[in-house]
């Protein structure tokens, strides 16, 4: 879906910037932050932001000599665009999510929340992994956040902690497992059976 939007809107950079402002309508962002969060060059960010200001999709503000940019909810096609980009995030960004398997010895990776357009979920992702490379994890999360236009909230725990919390019927964990979620990696024996058993109650 993201590839289709890139073609529709002309470039990956513009698609990311559009999604970013649509999904973060309350924020005010200087150009450098727009470029950094969306992992695009400053030159591309400047070009695309200026075009979006020209059509009044984005409003330019100045505080103490610094320019900030904010979403204009009065833009004529605001509601339609927001709906389109929200739907585009429902299908998980598989290219970015596939990189999760390289952050360490990953036993479990589940997504919900932003990835499934399920705002009731307390987090977007649960990761169970041992020997995690923090630098690889940070790189994957930065890439995902640029793709989906929002900060990814996640919980990371090792295998022993996950087993302990599951045995203790941890409320947070049960709420996530019993709610809508998509399984990316599952090397936890018996977990599917456990979830099915819980859903029967």
Structural domain of 69: 2-88
User: Are 62 and 114 contained in the same domain?
Assistant: no
Q: Answer positive or negative: Cα dihedral of 124, 25, 46, 88.
A: positive
What is the H or E stretch that residue 5 is in?
A: helix 2-9
pTM of the model: 0.74
User: Are 113 and 151 contained in the same domain?
Assistant: yes
Q: What is the pLDDT of residue 57?
A: 95
User: Are 119 and 193 contained in the same domain?
Assistant: yes
- Kindly report, residue by residue over 104-160, the tens digit of the pLDDT: 999 999 999 988 888 899 999 999 999 999 999 999 999 888 888 888 999 999 999
User: Are 194 and 101 contained in the same domain?
Assistant: yes
Could you tell me the CATH number of the domain that includes residue 33? 1.10.10.10
Q: What is the pLDDT of residue 22?
A: 92
User: Are 66 and 101 contained in the same domain?
Assistant: no
């Amino acid at each position: 879906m993201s590839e289709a939007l890139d073609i529709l809107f002309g470039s990956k950079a513009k698609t990311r910037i559009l999604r970013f402002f649509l999904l973060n309508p309350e924020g005010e962002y200087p150009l450098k932050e727009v470029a950094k969060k969306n992992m695009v060059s400053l030159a591309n960010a400047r070009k695309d932001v200026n075009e979006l200001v020209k059509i009044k999709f984005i409003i330019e503000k100045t505080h103490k000599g610094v320019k900030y940019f904010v979403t204009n909810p009065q833009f004529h096609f605001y509601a339609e665009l927001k709906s389109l980009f929200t739907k585009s995030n429902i299908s998980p960004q598989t290219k970015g999510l596939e990189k999760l398997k390289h952050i360490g010895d990953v036993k479990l990776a589940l997504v919900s929340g932003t990835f499934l357009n399920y705002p009731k979920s307390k987090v977007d992702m649960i990761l169970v992994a041992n020997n995690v490379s923090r630098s690889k994890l940070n790189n994957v999360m930065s890439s995902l956040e640029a793709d989906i236009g929002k900060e990814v909230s996640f919980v990371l725990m090792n295998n022993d902690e996950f087993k302990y919390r599951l045995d203790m019927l941890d409320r947070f964990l049960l709420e996530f497992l019993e709610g809508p979620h998509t399984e990316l990696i599952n090397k936890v024996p018996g977990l599917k059976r456990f979830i099915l058993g819980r859903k029967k109650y």
